[in-house]
Structures are given as C-alpha cells and as structure tokens.
A and B are shown apart, each in its own frame.
Chain A
C-alpha cells in the first residue's frame, strides 16, 4: 500500500491552501497520508493540517525555508517513513524545493501534474498547456508536485495525530537573507474568486491605476497581468499569469487589453468564466473568452466599472 508524505507549505504562520491540492492528489492514489511541516511555527501549522492527514509531523529545527537544508529534512523523513510518494503543491516554493528532494531520494519526479491516473501515472501540461502529457514514474519512490487549480480541496476529516519529528538540516551552503512582500489589500491571485488582468493594451502603469484597479475594486478582485507588462516593469512580476507566472482558475477572469498570447492563456484558460475586452476583433484572447467585447478598453472598462457599481446598488 502506498505511504504518502505531503510537504506542507506555510507562510506567516498559516497553511498555504495550495498544499491541499497535493492531499487531494494523494487521496486519489489511496493509502496512508502523512504530512510534514518544517520550519518556524511548524507546530501551529500542524494543527491546521491535521484534518487532512492521518499523521502530521512537525520539525521546527529545519529553520528558514531554504531548498538545500529542507530537501535533506524532507528526504530523511520520507526514508524513515518508508514513503512511496512525496508530494507538494507546484507553487514557487514547491518548484524550488521538490526537485532537490527527488535528486536526494534518487526518485523520478513529475512536475505540476493536473491529474492522477494511478500510483505511478500522471497527466501534466507541457508546451504551455498546448499538450497534455501522460508520464510514468519508474522509480520506487515518486516525487510529484500538483497544479493547485486542478484538484478540488478535500473535505476535512477527523484530525490526525500530531507529533514532533527530529530533523537535521545538515550543513547547508545557503542562508536566508530577507523577504520583501508585495503589500496589497486585495485577495491573493492564487485563491481569488475574481481576477481582473491587464495587458499591453492598458498602455502603462498609469492605465493599471485608472482602468484596471477601479474595475478590480468593484469586483473585489485580485489583479493579474500578462508577461509583457510584467517584463516592462509596469507592475510587479508577482502579478504575472501564464506559463512562466501563476496558473489561476477563478470563477470570473476579466482580461483587459490582453491579446491572448499562448503563454498567457496557459495560465488562465481553466477559469470558469472568461471575459475579454480588446479593441482588436482578431485578438486570440477571444478564442478562449466566454464573453468578448470588442471595444476601446479606456471607454469600456470604466463603463463596466460604473455598471457593476450600479448593479450592486
């Protein structure tokens, strides 16, 4: 029977919900589910994870989140449990850490999987999501990261047992220096119900302020952006939606002045409802939009903002 180890991600003392996609994927394989919480505040986060795992192990001695020492801790715990599968969400942190874990365990790894077929076979997007590959991991231990938008959050069960685990980060070459958070009152892109994204059509940082932000405000939305505008430095790179940015699947995605390059579409086509506003009738974004409005965004977006305000009453 399979023994799963879920590497739990947390920030600011809170569980990062994307982790639950890894739990959901492990449940599809079936077997015992262990969760591992490392680093500062791990004991508290363990309580939050307990309803999703049979057993939660926490190891505060792992220290700051750094790929090298954490990979050792994860691999050590995986070995001592006899884990057959080691999972994490395919977030920035998961992508940084898990290949090192795989290398340490001499294990094959499948990145960013979108479906679980059986205990060794997974589907995953390739070529910016233009192709879905089915991959088979041939090693005894399997390392997998899950695409958070592709797995429904599992229902919480009875709280699993929580216990401390001895971890030894070993001698690492790495040290953590600092984290400069992008401060925002808006919901995080990864779990927003509504996202308003701007592209090159917005014309500059000013356009984001005057057109995109007010629309996002009235919708209570997170703000996203295309790679081109992140590249140009109009907005933080953290806002990037696409193959090389974040993959999102909100209930409503409003693309403002986004042409719909393959690499952007790869990150948002899973959204339940897609609205596109673009003045080019031939823009590829209209091929994925449920509702397309061919219009000058500098007129249509503010008009939409006003109409939504009115609709709210």
Chain B
C-alpha cells in the first residue's frame, strides 16, 4: 500500500507569535520552526500502517528549500522518500489542494494522510478540498484508522462523540491528536534519512493554477485583555463573583 503524507513547516506552537512592525505578517526571524504537529501524527500513522500492510511512505511538502529539513525529519522517522514542491510566498488552501492533486496523479497513493489543520493559519481546508478535487472519500479528524478490504474505516472525533465512517480507497484521511503518539527519530534513522531520495519539483512545472482565491490583506494583534486581579482566598473569590462580576 502506498501512503502520501503532507508535511508543512510552521512556527513552533510554543513560540511567542509577534506582528512585524509594518504589520505585513508575523516575525519569523529567530522563531523556531517545526513540522506541523498534526502532520507528524500523519507520518507516524503511515509508518504504522506500512508495518501492517507493507508498501511505501512518501512525504510531500510545499515551500522553499527551508522545508527540506522537515521532510528529512519525516524520513528520519522512517518514511521512504520525499518530494519538495518549491514555492516561495503565500499559497491559499485551494492552491495547495490543486498542487497536491497533481502530485497524487503522479504518485497514485492509496491513502493521503494530512494533518487536520496547520497550526499557523488554522484553515482546516486543504485535505477536504483535495478529496473533492480527486472525487475521493474523506475521513477527517481520525482517531482510529483501519485499512481492510479496499476500504478505510475510520473512527472520527466528532461533536458530541465518536463517529465511524467508511470509504473506499483511495481516500484522504486527516489526523486528530489522539490517533497516535509520533515516535522520535533515532540517530541511525537520522543518518539514513540523509541518503534517502528527495526530489525537488518547481511549482511552475506542474501546470497548476495557484492564483489566490483568498488573500490575507491585513494582520493585527487581538485586543489586549485588561489585567485581572489576584484574590486572596476562596471567600473573597465568591464575594467578587457575586457582587462584582455578578455571574453566580
């Protein structure tokens, strides 16, 4: 079975995100960049499924050569090879989906695994759009993935409980937090990753329309919350909630 896993290079979730002085975007200088945590879960899931079913795990990322590091991280975890679609500048979710659709046409995976959202723009769109462009079934927010009999049966994190859906393969699956706990790459894996194939593709060579359907035209910081107060004990907390905040 062949797995295609998408990996996005994003700001560390623990980093303090600040606006540039001219408000044209966020400050990335000196900010640690990581593999989107949901993508890391996707890589792990593909590796575990490969252990069960055999096959190949291919990593794809879209970005500048800076993203190479994150592909290598996935290769160090155990993925087989990587593809970097070279692009500099913003790209909306629709364009990402179109680029990925091209890669899918070429690679013909049985399962595309993607993080449920990237923790930078939090859009949560590209995977579902990709599934639609391909005419495939989808299972978002996966908690358990079972591949059997040409189908993916997926327990999903839904509002109010767990929903199970089934789709024929090929399919697009997005990962939620509890799907698995990604492994750490061990030193031998890191050494091996350096020699694994990593193909670079210029985005322009794919013949895909990447014109923005959605543009981010301004960035701002949310209004600051006024400073709260410390209370000495439970009794004064109760008094404040009653007389000041009037919420109890």
Residues of chain A having any CB pair with chain B under 8 Å: 11, 66-68, 71, 91-93, 95-100, 102-104, 107-112, 121, 125-139, 172-182, 188, 190, 194, 219, 227, 230-231, 233, 237-238, 240, 243-244, 251-252, 262-263, 269, 272-275, 286-295, 300, 303-304, 307-308, 311
Contacts and interface: CB of A to CB of B under 8 A. Distances in A.
B122 A112 contact: yes
B21 interface: no
A311 B238 CA distance: 8
B122 A304 contact: no
Nearest to A218: B248
A169 to B, nearest CB: 13
Closest 4 CB pairs of A and B: A108-B213, A173-B137, A99-B128, A103-B132
Given A126-B121, A291-B240, A251 B222 contact: no
B238 A308 contact: yes
Contact of A111 (B123, B132, B212, B242): B123
A102 B107 CA distance: 25
Given A111-B124, A128-B13, A289-B228, A139 B213 contact: yes
18 contacts: A96-B128, A97-B128, A99-B132, A130-B17, A133-B218, A135-B216, A136-B214, A137-B213, A176-B166, A179-B164, A180-B162, A182-B162, A237-B143, A263-B119, A291-B229, A292-B228, A293-B230, A300-B234
Interface stretch (B48-56, B64-72, B170-178, B198-206): B170-178
Interface string B212-224: 1111111111100
A127 to B, nearest CB: 5
Given A121-B217, A175-B167, A182-B160, A291 B231 contact: yes
Q: Is the interface of B mostly helix, strand, loop or mixed?
A: mixed
Contacts of A136: 214-215, 217
B245 interface: yes
A137 B125 CA distance: 14
Contacts of A295: 233-234
Nearest to A299: B234
Given A68-B137, A188-B160, A293-B234, A102 B125 contact: yes
Contact of B162 (A102, A179, A244): A179
B26 interface: yes
A287 B228 CA distance: 7
Contacts of B161: 179-182, 238
Contacts of A102: 94, 125, 129
Contacts of A131: 17, 19, 26, 219-222
Contacts of B92: 108
A250 B234 CA distance: 21
B105 interface: no
A95 B10 CA distance: 21
A137 B221 CA distance: 21
Nearest to B162: A180
B167 A173 contact: yes
B140 A67 contact: yes
B94 A291 contact: no
